[in-house]
Amino acid sequence: MVSVRQAAVAGQFYPDNAAELSTTVKRYLAVASRASGPVPKAIIAPHAGFVYSGAVAASAYARIAPAARQITRVILLGPCHRVAVRGMALSSADAFATPLGNIAIDGHTQKRLLELPQVQLFDETHAQEHSLEVHLPFLQVILGDFSLVPIVVGEASPDDVADVLEAVWGGPETLIVISSDLSHFEDYETARGMDKTTCRAIENLDPAGIGRHHACGRNPVGGILAMARRRGLEVSTVDLRNSGDTAGTKDRVVGYGSWVFVEREKTGGDDFAAKTRALLADHGNTLVHLAAASIDYGLERGRPPIVDLNQSAPILRENGASFVTLKRDGKLRGCIGSSAASKPLVRDVSEHAYAAAFQDPRFPPLQASERDGLSLSVSVLSAPSPMTFSDENDLLTALKPHVDGLIIADGGRRALFLPSVWEQLPQPQVFLSHLKQKAGLSAGHWSDGLKAWRFIAEEASSNQLADPGSIWKQSNDT
Cβ atoms of 14 and 49 closer than 8 Å: yes
- Pairing verdict, β 413-417 and 457-461: unpaired
**Of the candidates 275, 171, 172, 178, the residue with the CA atom closest to the CA atom of residue 226:** 178
- Do 10 and 154 belong together in one domain? yes
User: Residue 401: what pLDDT?
Assistant: 85
User: Residue 372: what pLDDT?
Assistant: 83
- Do 318 and 461 belong together in one domain? yes
Name the burial class of residue 186, with classes exposed (0-12), middle (13-18) and buried (19+) by CB atoms within 10 angstroms of its CB: buried
- Do 247 and 315 belong together in one domain? no
- Do 280 and 212 belong together in one domain? no
CATH number of the domain enclosing 8 = 3.40.830.10
Cβ atoms of 200 and 168 closer than 8 Å: no
pLDDT < 70 regions, the chain: 34-36, 264-270, 465-478
Please tell me the total number of residues recorded for the chain in this structure: 478
- Do 273 and 246 belong together in one domain? no
Q: Given 263, 288, 307, which residue is the final one in a domain?
A: 263
Q: Given 263, 280, 312, which residue is the final one in a domain?
A: 263
Q: What is the pLDDT of residues 24-37, one digit of tens each?
A: 999 999 999 766 67
Q: Give the DSSP H/E element, type plus range, for residue 288.
A: helix 269-301
Average pLDDT score over the chain: 91
Report the alpha-carbon angle 402-381-395, nearest 5.
50
- Do 240 and 319 belong together in one domain? no
- Do 167 and 186 belong together in one domain? yes
Global confidence as pTM: 0.60
Name the burial class of residue 329, with classes exposed (0-12), middle (13-18) and buried (19+) by CB atoms within 10 angstroms of its CB: exposed
CATH number of the domain enclosing 334 = 3.30.700.20
User: Residue 473: what pLDDT?
Assistant: 43
- Give the Cα separation of 344 and 314 in Å (integer): 10
Number of structural domains the chain divides into: 2
Cβ atoms of 67 and 279 closer than 8 Å: no
Find the domain containing 463 and state its range: 269-477
- Given 3-state DSSP classes, what are the helix, strand and coil percentages for the chain, each rounded to the nearest 5? 40, 25, 35
Q: What is the pLDDT of residues 221-260, one digit of tens each?
A: 999 999 988 887 889 999 999 999 999 899 999 999 999 9
Which residues lie across from 75 on neighbouring strands? 149, 176
- Do 219 and 296 belong together in one domain? no
